[in-house]
Every structure is written in structure tokens, then in C-alpha cells.
Copies of this chain bind each other. A is one copy, B any other.
Amino acid sequence: MRAMSPPVGLPVLAESDLVRQVARRLTDAIVHGRLAPGAKVAEAAVARELGISRAPVREAARLLESQGLLKASPRRGFFVRELSAQEVDELYDLRLCVERHAAVEAARRLTPAARDGLRRQLDLMRDLARRDDPAAIVEADYQFHRLICEAAGNGRLLRLFDGLASELRIVIGLIGRLYDDPGEIARTHEPVLEAIEAGHPERIVAHVDHHLGVARREVVRLVQSLAPNP
């Protein structure tokens, strides 16, 4: 039942729940850019590399397809999703929609613990900005937004945010350095948190809009510069 052939290289996966593990590994490879957009994900190759059979790989691929990380082309296989500038724009449109709501809700039911978590995350970002570690900053940025969604107290909203964010990571992981001035991130996040703490819905929406608007323009522009062909 276990793979008998001695596969070289990668550690053989533990049994059961292979699907989730494969999905995690593939996701990781995609958001970290080891699998570039458009790259083919051959089931046989993945299976060989992990020392398992193709069945779990196929199921994991379906999972990632439904999350928008892979694209299935019948009879041809799975490919890492390619995001056009317009699709990135659409994604940010939804993020705006979702995060406005999340921030307002988070303000309505802000617990001291959630507030502290957000403050700590902001401090962390300021710290990372000083050290100039682009990857860590992007991660911390993501976590800050995620904490807001978490504080909104709607589990499904959080899942939705994760889905949008993971799709965006396809391109963001590629970009590497998202902002020219790392310190800018902390500065644009701060008013968002302040507005949440103050609890003024209009100010919250305004600041979220501004912050995401800046990020959106940046990412869209970078995506366009990456793929300038029609």
C-alpha cells in the first residue's frame, strides 16, 4: 500500500490525507514562485517526485483548481493560473468589497484581544520595514488584513478573503518587492486601524478604500509591466 519503489530526493509523505498535503505543497510552490504562472503541472511528475501515485495528486489539483490557483485544460492537464491585469483588477475590486465590510464589522465587535493583535501586527510591520525584508513584509501585510477579517467574526468571510488573497499571491509572490518604500506600508495601514478603533464606519471605509486603492494600482501596474503582450 505504501509506495514501494525507493524515490530519491523528496521525503515520502505520511499516510492518509495525502490530498491535503499535496495541495499544501503545490500551493506553497505556486505562491513562492517555484511554479511560475502558465507552467504545466504534470500529475505523473508530481507523483513521482513525492513518491506517491497519481490519484491523490489529481484530487489535490482539482482542489487548487477550485481555488483558482490552477487551471484545468481537459485532456491536456493542469497549469498554474495566469492572471491578466484585468483579473487582478477584478480581484482587488472584490477585496475592496469584502474588506470594507470586514473592517466595519470588526469595528462593531472589536474585542480587546483583537485590538491588541492588530496593534502588534502593525508594530511587527514597522519593525520589518526597518529591516527591509520584502517577503516578510508582504506576509505581515497579508496577516494584518487577515486579522481584520478574523475580527469581523464571520468564518465564511475569512475563508473568502483567504481565497482572494491566495489567488493574488500568484502574482504577488512573483513581484517580490511590492512597494518601493517599505515604511509606506505601515504608514498606510495605521489610519485603517485607527479608524477601526474609533469606530466611524465612513472613516473606516474611506481609509480601507485608500489603502487598497494604492495597493491595487501598484500591483496592476506591475502585472502589466510583467506581461505587456496582448
Q: Name A's B-contacting residues (CB within 8 A).
A: 15-17, 19, 55, 58-59, 62-63, 66-67, 74-75, 87, 90-91, 93-94, 96-98, 100-101, 105, 154-157, 160
- Minimal beta-carbon separation of A9 from chain B (angstroms): 15
Q: Which residues of B contact A55 (CB under 8 A)?
A: 55, 58
13 pairs of residues in contact across A and B, judged by CB atoms under 8 Å = A16-B74, A17-B74, A19-B62, A59-B59, A62-B62, A90-B154, A90-B157, A93-B101, A94-B160, A96-B101, A97-B98, A97-B100, A97-B157
- CA A62 – CA B20 in complex, angstroms? 11
When all copies of this chain in the complex are counted, the total is 2
Q: B90 and A155: CB pair below 8 A?
A: yes
Interface centre among A59, A98, A156 (most CB of B within 10 A): A156
Please determine whether B160 and A160 come into contact, CB atoms closer than 8 angstroms.
Answer: yes
Q: CA A21 – CA B22 in complex, angstroms?
A: 25
A157 touches B67 (CB 8 A): no
Tell me the minimal C-beta distance from A136 to chain B in angstroms: 28
Distance of A8 from chain B, by nearest CB (Å): 20
Asked whether A93 and B154 contact (CB < 8 A) given A66-B67, A74-B16, A75-B16, the answer is yes
The 10 closest A-B pairs by CB, nearest first: A66-B66, A97-B101, A90-B156, A90-B154, A15-B74, A62-B62, A59-B62, A93-B154, A17-B74, A62-B63
How many angstroms from the CA of A9 to the CA of B57 in the assembled complex? 32
Taking the closest CB of chain B, its distance from the CB of A204, in whole angstroms, is: 14
